[in-house]
Amino acid sequence: MAEEFSFSRKKVFLSFIALAVILIIVRLFYWQVIRGDELRNLSEKQAIRNKSHEGLRGQIFTSDGYLLVGNQEVFDLKLDRQNFTGDVEQLSQQLASIIAPENWQFQDATDSASRLLVQQQIESNLINKFSSQANWPQLASQLSLKAKEEILALNNPHLAFDSSSARFYPEASMAAHITGFVGRDEDGQEIGRYGIEGALEDELKARKESGWFRTDAFGALLAGSNYQLKNLNGRDVTLTIRRDIQHIAETNLAWGIEQYAADRGEIIILDSQTGKILALATWPNYQQWQYYKYPAEILKNPSLTRLYEPGSTFKVLTVSSAIDAKLINPNTVCTRCASPRQFGNYTIRTWNDVYHPNITMTEALEKSDNVAMIFVAEMLGQERFAEYLKKFGIGQSLKLDLQDDSSTYFPQKIGPVELATISFGQGISTNSLQLIRAINAIANKGKLLEPMIIEKVYDHQLAEEISVEQKKAQQVISQETAALVSEMMVAAAAHGEAQWIASKRYTVAAKTGTSQVPDPQGGYKSDETIASFIGFAPAENPQFTMLIKLENPKSSPWSAETAAPLWYRVADKLMLLFNIAPHVD
């Protein structure tokens, strides 16, 4: 009996084991076969995560290797609002004292009372942000490392930081109108504005990369997952400007603005033989990192956007065109220069109402004789004169890598009066870079060079340096014409209105220009001029071509007393910098 009972218990136990094995097999079949694909997909979703990586925006350098625009780490301050239980006013006051010194209004304040008002406003704004409905409201953005460390020293566990990069400027606002700045688009994304930043946005902007990788529960890559970090930085750009020459141009322009009480000013310096822009200084300037406090007009590059009537500097182009057309030579006598010229109701006079019968063309350039230029232009005729001016690039874009570069208006109809006024640089508008490009063709043996602002770029992805090739020069006047006009410009510099300041140590080919400013109500303003002086040196082998332009100089309206002495002041420094030996008679 006992044996039968033991056998029954053993049979039941074995049956139970068999049933359990069958259930396990069925269950495994269910999970691994019936729902296998579903579970594998779910596992993949949990273990595979998307990782993204973004580089830094490309940097901007001078041709001599100095960093003009780089990147630095900045910090956004955030608050853990849900868990914060401290004294709002006390913390806001502490934060405001740290944040305020980085605010541009605080920095621009001229007295302690004004700075205190700015700090109190920041404190008030912080208090309002503490009542935000967001879980992690942003209290401040783009703080420096110094500010971050001061805030961390408060030992408040409810404050946290997000880091990002922002532009910084080791040379302060140097060449601001060349570099441009980084602003925001309508979606709040960073984008280059103006200058190089705007024109080369696609080159400079950082690259992004993302991919799917196997990770653990904490997001760390699992063994066997290969995540190669690439260099995703935007391309670095090296400009043609030299730091030392740009510094000379900017400091001397600032001096000239104060010395001659001018409203605005520009200094542009080209390498005469390559067309490379060695310096481009403008006044007023702006600070790129605080671009938002300036009106849009200040942010634009005036050497491209501020059109003006160039006045007597334009006479060089009039004479060049007629000599190249073999209509005159330096000794040609003007047979209609004894008196003013009459065109219907318009009377055109010389700048000083003094007339010189039978003046030669060289003398006419020396004395900046308007009537003689009319004589030359009438020999050329409207169509041929317009054709030469277009060959010199007047009205044509410069093909520069600067955002504001574009073609400018060129008169479609040139009648007798227009022909007369254009001959001496009134009644036609251009910009400073177009004019210096045209005059530099004379320095470069009659070949028009397109100005260059980019020397090279460096591609981090390819680890490759890419040099920018110089565009082919266009022969706009003959080499013989250029040589003759250069000699005439030397005479104009030595014997013209600015002869008192002419250099005795080196030979300069140059021309003054004092132009009237159009009045929006019609005619020209009686109390405002634009003074300019343009030329190249040494005249026999030009190393640099330079334009000085001063708008509304109040110490004197004449370029011979303002722009010309400033030109020679800068040229003296350039001759030393280029190690050019003094002229020996």
**Per-block mean pLDDT, blocks of 10 residues, the chain (585 long):** 59 70 69 64 56 86 98 96 91 96 93 95 94 91 95 95 95 97 90 96 90 57 57 96 98 98 98 98 97 95 97 98 98 97 93 95 97 98 97 96 92 94 96 98 98 97 93 96 98 95 94 94 91 97 98 97 98 96 72
Asked whether 513 and 533 are in contact (CB, 8 A), the reply is yes
CA distances (Å), 513 to each of 47, 365, 388, 449, in order? Answer: 74, 11, 20, 23
pLDDT of residue 549: 98
- Residue 427's nearest CA partner among 353, 515, 346 is 515
d(CA 497, CA 366): 8
- Classify domain 243-288+308-577 at the CATH class level: alpha beta
d(CA 113, CA 33): 78
What is the CB neighbour count within 10 angstroms for residue 91? Answer: 20
pLDDT of residue 220: 58
What is the CB neighbour count within 10 angstroms for residue 487? Answer: 15
Provide the residue ranges of all domains of the chain, joining segments of one domain with +: 74-147+158-164, 243-288+308-577
pLDDT of residue 1: 54
d(CA 284, CA 414): 35
Q: Cα torsion at 99, 105, 106, 108 (round to 10°)?
A: 140
Helix residue spans in 195-334 (DSSP H) = 195-199, 201-204, 243-259, 296-299, 302-305, 315-324
Residue 152: its H or E element: helix 145-152
pTM for this predicted structure? 0.88
